[in-house]
Structure 1
Amino acid sequence: MDSKLKGIKANNSSISISFTYNDVRCRETVKVKPTKSSLKEMTRKRDVILYEIAMGQFDYLKHFPNSKTALSLSGNQACNITISQMINDWFKRTQDQWEYSTKRGYISKINHHIEPNFGHILINEFKPSIFKDWGATSTLSGKTKNEVRSILRSAFQELFIDELIDSNPIDRVKRFKHIRKEPEPFNANEREKILEQMRGQVRNLYEFAFWTGLRTSELLALRKCDINLKRKVIFVRKALVHGREKETKTRSSARTHQLHKTAFKVLETQLSITSNEHERIFLNPKTNQPWRDDRAIYHNCWQPALKKSGVNFRKQYNTRHTYASTMLTENKPIAWVARQLGHSDIAMTLSTYARWIPENTL
């Protein structure tokens, strides 16, 4: 072989280049037909590689992006890590900091959205445009897309802090626009039609929901020790989510709630039939045991009652909207309604329920 072709070997339909990098003998094959000009080009390419190695500037993956040897020898660790590995490592390190319900939500987002769409991509190959393209074609809500974005951003941020990447690619992706759905409270007639389809403890639970605006998770977690009948108040301290008792959704959600006269009567009725064996107020009448979570009452109680009532279907969270809109229509002070609902300030109450506030109170 000509001395000019040192380290170059021609095969039938390719040319291989040999060189030493980090004391490892490397050979890479380029799929190009061996001709006089292509052999000279590969010789020049090898000379560049040798120069870059000597100067400490060699980027193996830049020259041979599909090389397995490049991945094993590259000094850039991000070349060896996939999004899937990054997310799994991040999840293991941080999961102890989350509530059980938060962890379930993250697992769902990872399994259904991150792994199938991005899991196979190497960290150094992930570009903001990849995530933007996914967001542009996905039918998910803006809220869900932002939750996926948040998970990826947190995982990438750890790599950035550890100096494995130069910047966080998700920082160059704007949050998706989230159009919050307008509340659809039930009017008084609809409320009564729904309650007419319920009996016993189930009716008590939902009538209490309509007249307190408590979240379903707060209703199911309500205990006898959270009640002061003399003051006609309840103390909202806990929530029941996925069968587990936890703190309320936010710090402001922990509150003292003044009972409406209808709610107070319902509570007295419920207490008269609640089993002394349990601390919880609302029980499953079929088992006389505390409800595990809101899915059972939603599927077994709420959905059938709505269907029988003939009222246009809405989720049971609208019992909360019904309470808020009713109180505001009755000229209750906005700040008072905000405290009753557990909002951190009146801004949230105004942004959600402004159209039910009488003009003379604005």
Structure 2
Amino acid sequence: MAIHRYERHNNKKSRNYWTQDEFNKFLDTVNDRLDLRLAFVVSYWTGIRIGELLALTYQDINLEDKTISVNKSYQRLNGKGVLTSPKTSNSVRMITMPDFLVEEFREYYGQLNETMESKRVFKLEKSDLEHYMAYGIEKSGVNRISIYELRHSHKNMLVSIGADPQEIARHLGYSSPIPFVITESKLAGLLDKKHGEA
């Protein structure tokens, strides 16, 4: 996909989230970049914060257990990318992945020609995601939201499928993650069903 300048939609934002149909339309615009595709898929289907997403290393992804360990954040300090502590202590959590997301990771890993170990999964910056998101919105014509509002989109989806508010809070890292492993598995199952409706 060629990088070029883009024009923002002049349409007034009607809401701060995407429906699944809108997300799929947007995703079609980045299908030729597996790293970008996976980054957006993980963001939309887990509700992970952008800094947490960019901090993920291969050691944080367990495809056998179908989990993502969120334990750090990535940001630019003095022009350099650094890994820092998460936003809050409650941000440290384990996210259970739906089966389709595990397969997305397997496909991505199959295209890599490098030793994974402790390297970052996504060699991207927040500005890269913002640029391609704006490009994809312009190309697909979907509702204009910010990169942070992918998290709102996920939260809205969980509400729409009837997830308990406390479970949603734990899933997103807003409260103690200690008792939520079973809850996460239930949410993953619900998301698999939701994904199958697309």
User: How high is the TM-score relative to the length of structure 2?
Assistant: 0.72
**CA displacement 1:168-194 (0-9 Å, x = unmatched):** xxxxxxxxxxxxxx9711012211110
Equivalent residue, structure 1, for 2:11:
none
**CA displacement 1:240-272 (0-9 Å, x = unmatched):** 111111111111011111112332222222222
1:280 aligns to 2:120 (yes or no): yes
State the identity %.
27
1:304 Cα deviation after fit:
0.6
Specify the code of the residue in structure 2 equivalent to 1:187: T
1:274 Cα deviation after fit:
3.4
Specify the code of the residue in structure 2 equivalent to 1:336: E
How many correspondences in the alignment? Answer: 156
Equivalent residue, structure 1, for 2:27:
195
Structure 1 pair 245–183 and aligned structure 2 pair: CA distance change class (3 A): farther
Q: Is the 8 A contact 1:238 1:245 kept in 2?
A: yes
Mapping 1:104-143, distance limit 5 Å: none
From the two aligned structures, give the one with the greater helix fraction.
1
1:318 aligns to 2:156 (yes or no): no
Q: Is the 8 A contact 1:213 1:320 kept in 2?
A: yes
Equivalent residue, structure 1, for 2:191:
none
What CA RMSD, in Å, does the superposition of the two structures yield over aligned residues? 2.1
Which among 101, 104, 109 is matched to residue 266 of structure 1?
104
d(CA) in 1 for partners of 2:112 and 2:171?
A: 25
Mapping 1:121-270, distance limit 5 Å: 184-199=16-31, 200-242=34-76, 243-270=81-108
User: How high is the TM-score relative to the length of structure 1?
Assistant: 0.41
d(CA) in 2 for partners of 1:274 and 1:281?
A: 11
d(CA) in 2 for partners of 1:276 and 1:238?
A: 23
Q: Is the 8 A contact 1:212 1:323 kept in 2?
A: yes
- Spell out structure 1 runs of 4+ moving beyond 3 A: none
1:312 Cα deviation after fit:
2.4
Q: Is the 8 A contact 1:183 1:318 kept in 2?
A: no
1:295 Cα deviation after fit:
1.3
d(CA) in 2 for partners of 1:215 and 1:274?
A: 24
d(CA) in 1 for partners of 2:169 and 2:93?
A: 11
Per chain length, whose mean CA-contact separation is higher, i.e. which structure has more relative contact order (CA < 8 Å, sep 6+)? 2
1:335 aligns to 2:166 (yes or no): yes
d(CA) in 1 for partners of 2:127 and 2:120?
A: 17
Structure 1 pair 274–319 and aligned structure 2 pair: CA distance change class (3 A): farther
Structure 1 pair 276–304 and aligned structure 2 pair: CA distance change class (3 A): same
Q: Is the 8 A contact 2:18 2:143 kept in 1?
A: no
